[in-house]
Amino acid sequence: MFNTPFTVKLARTLWLNAYRAQITDASGEYCATLRLFPQIPLDRQDVPENAPEAKLYLVILVEDAPMLTDDNLVSFETPVSVVVMEELGKLGMYPDSCQFVYPNLMTELEQPIQQ
């Protein structure tokens, strides 16, 4: 398991509305590197009158998390989502929800090519 509470160090990137985050545990040990992509809805004036209301949500790309396993996924995502969303709140962004994404390029590369 993880030594919570987690802390997050947030940095802006060169892309609009993209951030990089480093997650450490209660003892200051490195836990993960994340890429954050707040999905900001268009202004109401830029959409049709009858368009549904879209809310701000957050995509969290987990770039590196060496201690993460299938068994501790929930105990990682739950506290990480809280600290990340609190940190974005300091920037005036209040996501309604978040979605974690775990790319694994090696798994994809190891798959046989379908003819």
Cα dihedral across residues 107, 109, 113, 114: positive or negative = positive
Give the model confidence (pLDDT) of 8-18 as tens digits: 999 998 888 89
Paired sense of beta strands 57-64 and 97-101, if any: parallel
- Written as one letter, the residue type at 86 is E
Detail the DSSP E strand segments found in 1-115. Answer: 7-12, 19-24, 30-39, 57-64, 97-101
pLDDT tens-place values along the chain, 115 residues long: 677 799 999 999 888 889 999 999 999 999 999 999 999 889 989 999 999 999 999 999 999 999 888 888 899 999 999 999 999 999 999 999 999 998 865 555 566 666 6
What is the reported pTM? 0.83
Residue position matching structure tokens 């090696």: 106
